Each structure stands twice: as structure tokens, then as C-alpha cells.
Amino acid sequence: MNSNDTLARLAAVIASRRGGDPDKSYVARLFAKGPDAILKKVGEEATEVVAKDGDRARLAAAVADLWFHSMIALAQYGLAPADVLAELERREGQSGLEEFALRKSNQRDQEGG
């Protein structure tokens, strides 16, 4: 078993809770509140990651919460962990600075400037 299996199992659980009873499932409750509430929760969890101040155990727990809520956001938009992994694989071997410059250039092109 590997981490991809863990992510796939978690994604399946998240998918199974979508449309469930919001009174019985935290995930169902988030889905019922809609995309803005889900994305806001991702932001809150990201803020908690920043606040862990070097405590390794707290950092790991906070990142787990961030990943969990990010996976709910992915599911909201019909995406899966495999989509994120594919994007990371696409970027593999590319300089982060080059990738960032390319994104900025593409953004300027899309904005017509």
C-alpha cells in the first residue's frame, strides 16, 4: 500500500459522503454549504499551517487537515488526487522559477497584455 492508495481511499470516502445527511457527516455539511464555504475552509486550514511555528507534530496534523479539505474542494469541482499528481508530474524536472515565469507570461497573454 502506498500514499496514492491512501489518497484514493480518502477521495472515495469524500465522494460517498457527498449528498449525505449534513447532520450526520461533516463532509456532507461542507458540500451542503457550497463551494465558497469549502474554499474558505481550505484557507482557514492553510492559515493554521502557517501558525505551527516549527512544531513538527502540529505541522503534520495541520497539513493533514489542509490536504483533507483540499480534497473536498477537488471533489466539489470534479477533480481527484490523481489530477493533482498528474500536474505535479508534468512539472517534474522543470525549474520552479521557469514554471512561475511561464505561468505569469500565460496570464498576461490571457489578459490581453
* Model pTM above 0.85: no
**pLDDT tens figures, 87-101:** 999 888 878 787 778
Render the burial of 68-85: b for 16+ CB within 10 Å, e for the rest: bbbbbebbbeeebbeeee
What's the mean per-residue pLDDT of the chain? 91
**pLDDT tens figures, 43-101:** 999 999 998 778 899 999 999 999 999 999 999 999 999 999 999 998 888 787 877 78
